Each structure stands twice: as structure tokens, then as C-alpha cells.
Amino acid sequence: MAKVSVVMTLYNCEQFIGEAIESALAQTYTDREIIVIDDGSTDGSAFVVKKFGNAARYVYQPNGGVAQATNKGVALSSGSYVAFLENDDVWLPQKLERQVAILEEKPEIDAVTCDLRYFSEKSQPLDEIIPGYCPEDPYSRLFLDGFNFMLSALMLRRSVFDATGGFDEGFKAAGLQDVEWYARLMQVARVHWISEPLTLFRRHGIRIASDVMMHNTQYMLDRLWERFGADPKKRRYLLGRQVSFLSDLGKYKIERGLVQEGRQDLKRALRLAVTERVGGKMVPRSVTRLVRSFINGSKL
């Protein structure tokens, strides 16, 4: 049984998955296992992973979504600590060692995160750093107590992951499943922040399809409303997010020729913003989008 379980999920990422696994194997902390859940890849990803032999445990599942794949990876793990590594990210060599030391020395701490540095599609480090602690970010202040999580930066106790109930498998495609989970994590976890970029976060041109993000945003907001809607502060934040979503949904529909439906969503966004006094910059943006739909039709 390893002390740390490194859980990776994979879907058609043959270009980057090898480099990610190599960075996990290059860790100075060696009491670890690597579990890679392939969520139905159709490219050469399986071949790349299998080249590592017993160093990385490869498990294939029919495509069920990254949330399901992540839960499966944790379920198969044996470590008392769990670290997640996205299939296109990279760890610096001391990442696991530094985080394990904190969890060993401080039993009151449940999870450890760190800063991230962007790196390019060609694996060149960039100057921009994503801080692991962002007290000025409204989402962080409300749900995450200032911590701005990226999954590849996080290590937590397995018992804490279990206490969250795992990732919501209602997310059938990648996008926002981690944000919804972070909100639940912070209800049960005390977090320590390492103010060093021990993880490299890849910046490239791959984007989640708009229709998937629209669906996932609505699903995420529904789940957050169910869990946190009774809390006055969280409710106000969620109202603002709902205004933003309705405005973006209206724009999305109008650009696809569903002009009347899109206008209705923009009007709903404005009514909610005025009634609840939320929305901020999304109010003038929604007005602009609505006016343009009458002037330019579907060309926003």
C-alpha cells in the first residue's frame, strides 16, 4: 500500500499524457502509486500509458465522464493521501514531498494546495503564476475561504475526499465538475497553502465546446442551489452567477438562430438582476446584447 495515490483521468490526450506521468514518476517522494483511468479514449493514449508498464496502473472504462472516472480512480486507490494530476499538466519534482510533509506534521490540516505556473503547449514555462490563495476573488471568499484551487495543485486526505461524497457524476462531460466539488470540499476541509508554483498548468488552444459548458453551468448552478441556497451570503452569490449564466445563454441561443428564446433569457437575466439587485457588469452587457439582437438579428 502506497502512502500517496496519484489519480489521473484520461480522454484522448496522447500528446501530453506521457509527460504528465513522467513528472509523477520523477517525484522525490517515492511512496506513491499512479492510477490512470482512461475514460473511453479513441486515440493512442492507451499505448502511451502502457509503455510505463507497472509504474502506472492503467484502467479502461467506457466513456462516462471525468467525474465518474475520478471517483473510480480514488475507489481503486490504496493511499491515505490522494493527489490529482490532470492529463496535460506537470508537477515539479518536490511537489508531493512538500505536501506530504505538511499533512504529516499538521494533523489539523486536511488538504494542501500550491501556486501554479502556466506553461506552453510546447512545455515551455511562462512567467504568469496562478496564486493558490486569492482572497479578493468573490468565489474564493464565499465558498473556498480564499483558496483558488486547480485540481493538479491539490493533495488531500483520503478520508476527507470520502467525506465530500466524491465528484458529482451528473456531470457527463468535462467542465465545472471540479468547481462544484470544491464548494463541498470547503465545507469539511481545512487547507494549507504553499506559496510556490509546484505545478505547471498547460495553456493551449483546446476548449470545451460551448454547448457542453452551457449544460454543465446550468447543472452546476442547480446543484449549488440545492446545497447552499438557504445560506443568505451564498444565495446572493448564486443569484449573481444565475444572472451571468442567463445572459450568456441568451447570447448563445441568439447566435445559433434561436433569437426569440435568446431574448427571453436576456430579459430573465435583467428581471432577476433588478429584482435582486445583483449582476453588476452583466446588467449593461445584457442590455447591449438584447438591443443588438433587434438591430443585427443573430449577429451579436
Q: Select the more confidently predicted residue: 125 or 246.
A: 246
Q: What per-residue string of b and e applies to 238-262 under the rule 16 or more CB within 10 Å gives b? A: bbbbbbbbbbbbbbbbbbeeebeeb
Is residue 16 predicted with pLDDT exceeding 90? yes
Residue with the bigger pLDDT between 187 and 207: it is: 187
* pLDDT confidence bin for 95, thresholds 50/70/90: very high
Q: Report the pLDDT value the prediction gives residue 205, as an integer from 0 to 100.
A: 63
Reply yes or no on whether the pLDDT at 206 is more than 70. Answer: no
Mean pLDDT score, 87-100: 97
Q: How far out from the chain centre does Cα 79 lie?
A: 22
Pick the CATH number of 4-202 from 2.60.120.10, 3.40.50.300, 3.20.20.70, 3.90.550.10: 3.90.550.10
**Digit-coded pLDDT (tens) for 43-75:** 999 999 999 999 999 999 999 999 999 999 999
